[in-house]
């Protein structure tokens, strides 16, 4: 994942809306949605919620090491 993907997933995992995350990351809402589509493809999931859930699980597993 690219840095912008990670930042977007982190924001969503912290409960921020897509619109608010876009503002925080200095992206347009349209660009944020395109990045989310890229993330869904990369993670092989169908929804943003699935992507965030998978992201949280991966982050949690990394902190256990």
21 touches 11 (CB < 8 A) = yes
More confident residue, 9 or 59: 9
Q: Give the residue ranges of DSSP H helices in 1-65.
A: 3-13, 18-24, 29-43, 48-64
CB 39 within 8 A of CB 9: yes
pTM: predicted TM-score of the whole model, two decimal places:
0.88
CB atoms within 10 A of CB 36: 21
- Measured from the Cβ of residue 28, the count of other Cβ atoms closer than 10 Å reads 10
Encode pLDDT of 4-53 as tens digits: 999 999 999 999 999 999 999 999 999 999 999 999 999 999 999 999 99
Residue predicted with more confidence, 59 or 21 = 21
Q: Has residue 65 got a pLDDT over 60? A: no
- Is residue 64 scored above 70 in pLDDT? no
């Amino acid at each position: 994942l690219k840095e912008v993907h990670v930042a977007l997933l982190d924001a969503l995992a912290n409960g921020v809306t897509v619109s608010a995350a876009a503002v925080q990351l200095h992206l347009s809402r349209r660009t944020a949605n395109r990045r989310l589509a890229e993330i869904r493809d990369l993670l092989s999931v169908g929804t943003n919620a699935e992507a965030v859930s998978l992201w949280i699980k991966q982050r949690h597993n990394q902190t256990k090491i």
